[in-house]
């Protein structure tokens, strides 16, 4: 059994692309969205002979977790701030006058609070003008086709807002325990707001489908990102708590994390509720299969973040403040993946296999034909067996200059120690500088054996530390960087990328 990408088969055309979060696109409305700039970015990729656009997770984020896309409030729903106001006007849902009443936003960064406030007013207007799309057959089909998650999410989002963003464990007891009569009573009381959430999920999905169609017309494939876990304060945990290590009242027994290592004596306590894999297996992995099916509607390729957790996971007592008292627990990766590929034979799954457990994941990835990740910034030093070193790369990998968790390559090069610099010079020469290192690293990835080469847009544009999108182990101040309109224009002025891609044989 193999994934949709037969990575070891002869004749498979190597490809390349750019990592660019949708939120980081330029726009006049405070955050990147699915409007004109997204179409322009897809066009710029095609102009540069790139075939892949990788994005970060697009599920609803939460200000309480610093708007981190890896700690979403739903594994199925879309982030509605990505809905394009301009397309709402173009589609006839709103008058152009509405856009003129939106606040002025700064370019180059995201003010999440201001974006959220502006979207409340915009979407309230949308509900009023469209009457919630009642009677629209496309909307009705969407609701019917997504009933497995849509109603629970719409109710969760509205109840949460009504109770002033308190965790669902602190709602009225009848809602916490999911008493059907209590849920129906509150649903009738808040029916207008729930209708609004259903409508917004339809609009998000409709705008996304049209963008994906445009990308396909440009021979650009969308590469999505699926976090392994969801947060405890999520629609999934509220609606399906039996699938998590949680009590009936929603209190978490065990949470996710990583064990102590050289970087942290107490390990890392991530805090997501861990899965009750016995329950998932008893239910024939239906929640996970529905989740994969939803992501296949959005993406051509799917990266599963923290793939390690499918094989075995670090289980931390929920009452502990650190992760040092956790223990390793096996997960049914083999049985789950058999079910996944039997259900979706063309599933293109890519594993985030970074970290100390990389070697232990190799057998199951090999068995299912799942490629992993290699990061060139990690490839200098560490001995001859460093899996990220250029000479150790194979076709069974997606190679990156860096990821969303790395600083841009230009900034990385300016901070490396002498040993790493000596190792780097062995691959190139001492003429490499902070000004040209990003381009050289992108070319290194393009010319590697990896079947897919991805560069963050920051490296394509030769940006520095100011363009970092995330600083791991910090909660606030991340996920705010945005490309400026001039930087988007500059993507069309990079003939070196197009030429380097053609020279590497990745143009198709």
Q: Which of 90, 97, 75, 80 is nearest to 36 (CA)?
A: 90
Query: DSSP string spanning 152-190?
Result: HHHHHHHHHHHTTT--GGGS-HHHHTT-HHHHHHHHHHT
Q: How many whole angstroms from its chain centre is CA 91?
A: 27
- Looking at 193, 305, 353, 443, which residue is catalytic? 305
Is 278 catalytic? The answer is no
Contact 30, 111 (CB under 8 A): yes
How deeply is 224 buried, as exposed, middle or buried, from its count of CB atoms within 10 A (0-12, 13-18, 19+)? buried
- Looking at 28, 281, 334, 405, which residue is catalytic? 405
Q: How far apart are CA 447 and CA 341, in angstroms?
A: 31
Question: What does the angle CA 470 – CA 475 – CA 480 come to, to the nearest 5 degrees?
Answer: 45
Residue 495 phi, psi (nearest 5): -60, -20
- Looking at 300, 352, 357, 459, which residue is catalytic? 352
Structure token pair of residue 489: 């224009």
Is 503 catalytic? The answer is no
Element (H, E) at 397: strand 397-400
Q: Which of 477, 494, 468, 488 is nearest to 27 (CA)?
A: 488
How deeply is 397 buried, as exposed, middle or buried, from its count of CB atoms within 10 A (0-12, 13-18, 19+)? buried
Contact 416, 469 (CB under 8 A): no
What percentage of the chain's residues is helix, strand, coil (to nearest 5)? Answer: 45, 10, 45
The answer for residues whose C-beta is within 8 angstroms of residue 329's C-beta and 6 or more apart is: 274, 312, 313, 314, 315
The answer for residues whose C-beta is within 8 angstroms of residue 447's C-beta and 6 or more apart is: 503, 504
Residue 294 phi, psi (nearest 5): -60, -40
Q: How far apart are CA 271 and CA 258, in angstroms?
A: 11
Q: Which of 410, 384, 396 is nearest to 466 (CA)?
A: 410
Q: Which of 418, 412, 457, 406 is nearest to 437 (CA)?
A: 412
Block residue for tokens 């083999």: 334
Is 466 catalytic? The answer is no
DSSP-derived letter for residue 103 is P
Contact 82, 31 (CB under 8 A): yes
**Which residues have a catalytic role annotated?**
305, 352, 405
């Amino acid at each position: 059994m193999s994934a949709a990408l037969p990575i070891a088969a002869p004749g498979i055309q190597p490809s390349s692309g750019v990592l660019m979060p949708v939120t980081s696109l330029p726009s006049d409305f405070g955050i990147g969205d699915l409007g004109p700039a997204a179409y322009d970015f897809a066009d710029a990729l095609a102009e540069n002979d790139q075939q892949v656009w990788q994005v970060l997770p697009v599920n609803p984020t939460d200000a309480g977790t610093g708007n981190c896309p890896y700690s979403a409030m739903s594994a199925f729903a879309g982030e509605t701030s990505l809905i394009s106001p301009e397309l709402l006007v173009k589609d006839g849902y709103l008058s152009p006058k509405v856009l003129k009443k939106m606040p002025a936003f700064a370019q180059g960064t995201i003010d999440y609070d201001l974006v959220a406030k502006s979207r409340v007013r915009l979407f309230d207007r949308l509900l009023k003008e469209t009457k919630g799309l009642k009677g629209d057959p496309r909307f009705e089909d969407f609701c019917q086709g997504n009933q497995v998650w849509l109603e629970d999410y719409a109710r969760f989002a509205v109840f949460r807002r009504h109770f002033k963003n308190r965790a669902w464990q602190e709602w009225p007891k009848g809602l916490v325990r999911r008493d059907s009569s209590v849920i129906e009573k509150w649903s009738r009381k808040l029916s207008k707001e729930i209708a609004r959430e259903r409508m917004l999920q339809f609009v998000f999905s409709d705008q996304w489908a049209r963008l994906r169609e445009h990308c396909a017309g440009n021979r650009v494939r969308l590469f999505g990102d699926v976090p392994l876990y969801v947060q405890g304060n999520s629609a999934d945990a509220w609606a399906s708590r039996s699938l998590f290590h949680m009590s009936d009242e929603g209190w978490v027994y065990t949470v996710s994390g990583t064990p102590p290592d050289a970087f942290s004596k107490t390990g890392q306590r991530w805090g997501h509720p861990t899965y009750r894999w016995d329950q998932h297996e008893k239910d024939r992995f239906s929640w996970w299969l529905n989740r994969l099916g939803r992501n296949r509607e959005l993406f051509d390729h799917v990266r599963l973040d923290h793939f390690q957790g499918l094989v075995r996971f670090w289980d931390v007592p929920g009452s502990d403040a650190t992760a040092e008292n956790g223990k390793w627990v096996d997960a049914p990766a083999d049985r789950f993946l058999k079910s996944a590929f039997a259900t979706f034979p063309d599933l293109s799954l890519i594993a985030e296999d970074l970290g100390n457990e990389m070697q232990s994941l190799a057998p199951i990835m090999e068995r299912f034909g799942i490629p992993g990740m290699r990061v060139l910034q990690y490839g200098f030093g560490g001995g001859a067996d460093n899996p990220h070193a250029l000479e150790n790369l194979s076709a069974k990998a997606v190679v990156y200059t860096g990821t969303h968790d790395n600083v841009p390559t230009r900034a990385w090069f300016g901070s490396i120690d002498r040993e790493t610099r000596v190792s780097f010079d062995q691959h190139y020469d001492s003429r490499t500088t902070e000004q040209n290192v990003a381009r050289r690293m992108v070319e290194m990835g393009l010319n590697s054996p990896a079947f897919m080469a991805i560069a963050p847009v920051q490296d394509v544009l030769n940006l520095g530390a100011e363009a970092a999108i995330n600083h791991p182990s910090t909660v606030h101040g991340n996920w705010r960087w945005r490309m400026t309109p001039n930087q988007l224009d500059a993507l069309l002025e990079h003939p070196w990328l197009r030429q380097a891609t053609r020279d590497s044989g990745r143009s198709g």
